[in-house]
């Protein structure tokens, strides 16, 4: 299968500050992972263009975008204790958002079977009016909003170790977007409880699977398959958009989960099985150990290409925590109450 790879030299120009974990070296590590996959004949590289203002404003308040651009152009600085920008950051963010829009056009033209977007800054914490958690523009949300405007139903699968509060917030009242997140809890940003189900028309269209620190990849995958899969199947999405954060890897310095590159291969293969070829986007989100980032990229790219490519890793033996998975399933059932177990239809 053919995979689009979208990346841009401008992503290296976004300066988060000295010693910041979200550094330009992350892009270098991911591209090394792409190279090590050895899939040259199946890859099609492209250079993204900037997202148009209308697509950005479908997700973000115009005033927020204007103020963010102004702040960056004037030299940047710290937006909050985690998020710092430079004079080049706004353009990098607009190009990161544009990568998904360009990939959608190419996939709809039949140029490839999926797309892997090697972008920074990441996006899933950015709300409609707030930059946070290293994120400026919500790249995933911009692409999803565009797909929805075309009449598509979209399932977002977010396996970053941090909950994607921004993506959840943007589509919290929509029945056209199913948001599924597995993440460590408690952990920044503190959102993502099972009881966060969506609101109004979107009630039931948010599936949060918070797992405790130390959880294995086997536990995370079991939660997805047992709790989320029936919801996804009933939703029957036209597109899958993956927030591919690799910070759940056992080597990551910012989290405490036990996933391996193989787990990212398995989760990506699982996620792409819900839609036909040419209807999958994968966006880089977190991941802060460079070796783990490289190896997880290789495995994920293999999954997109239909090839089993697993880098050598330390032997990490994990077991399914049936208690965790059963607790998640029961908590979601209780939270839904007297409504249909999946999509919010009253009995």
- For the annotated catalytic residues, the residue numbers are 125
Cα 61 vs. chain centroid, distance in angstroms?
21
**Cis preceding-peptide flag for 186 (omega within 30 of 0):** yes
DSSP assignments along 36-86, one per residue: HTT-GGGEEEE---PPPHHHHHTTS-HHHHHHHHHHHHTT-EESSSS-EE-
Query: 180: Cβ–Cβ under 8 A, 6 or more apart, which residues?
Result: 155, 156, 157, 158, 207, 209, 224, 228, 231, 232
326 within 8 A of 320, measured Cβ to Cβ:
no
Distance between CA atoms of residues 134 and 144, nearest Å? 20
CB atoms within 10 A of CB 323: 9
Question: Alpha helices, DSSP H only, in 76-228?
Answer: 89-108, 139-149, 165-170, 217-223
State the Cα torsion 203-206-207-213 to the nearest 10°. Answer: -130
d(CA 250, CA 289): 9
């Amino acid at each position: 299968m053919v995979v689009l790879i979208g990346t841009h030299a401008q992503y290296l120009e976004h300066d988060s500050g000295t010693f910041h974990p979200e550094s330009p070296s992350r892009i270098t590590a991911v591209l090394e992972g792409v190279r090590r996959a050895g899939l040259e004949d199946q890859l099609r590289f492209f250079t993204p263009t900037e997202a148009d203002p209308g697509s950005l404003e479908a997700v973000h308040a115009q005033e927020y975008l204007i103020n963010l651009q102004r702040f960056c152009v004037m030299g940047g600085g710290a937006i909050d204790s985690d998020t710092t920008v430079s004079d080049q950051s706004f353009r990098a963010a607009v190009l990161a958002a544009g990568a998904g829009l360009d990939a959608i056009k190419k996939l709809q033209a039949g140029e490839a079977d999926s797309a892997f977007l090697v972008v920074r800054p990441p996006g899933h914490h950015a709300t409609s009016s707030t930059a946070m958690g290293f994120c400026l523009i919500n790249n995933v949300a911009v692409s999803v909003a565009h797909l929805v405007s075309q009449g598509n139903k979209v399932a977002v699968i977010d396996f970053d170790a941090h909950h994607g509060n921004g993506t959840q917030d943007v589509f919290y009242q929509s029945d056209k977007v199913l948001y599924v997140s597995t993440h460590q809890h408690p952990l920044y940003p503190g959102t993502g409880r099972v009881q966060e189900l969506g609101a109004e028309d979107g009630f039931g269209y948010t599936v949060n699977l918070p797992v405790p620190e130390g959880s294995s990849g086997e536990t995370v995958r079991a939660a997805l398959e047992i709790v989320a899969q029936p919801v996804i199947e009933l939703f029957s999405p036209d597109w899958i958009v993956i927030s591919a954060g690799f910070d759940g890897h056992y080597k990551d310095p910012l989290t405490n989960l036990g996933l391996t590159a193989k787990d990212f291969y398995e989760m990506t293969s699982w996620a792409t099985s819900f839609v036909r070829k040419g209807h999958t986007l994968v966006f880089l989100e977190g991941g802060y150990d460079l070796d783990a980032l490289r190896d997880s990229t290789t495995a994920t790219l293999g999954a997109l290409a239909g090839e089993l490519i697993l880098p050598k890793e330390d032997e990490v033996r994990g077991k399914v925590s049936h208690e965790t998975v059963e607790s998640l399933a029961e908590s979601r059932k209780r939270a839904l109450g007297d409504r249909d177990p999946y999509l919010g239809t009253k009995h």
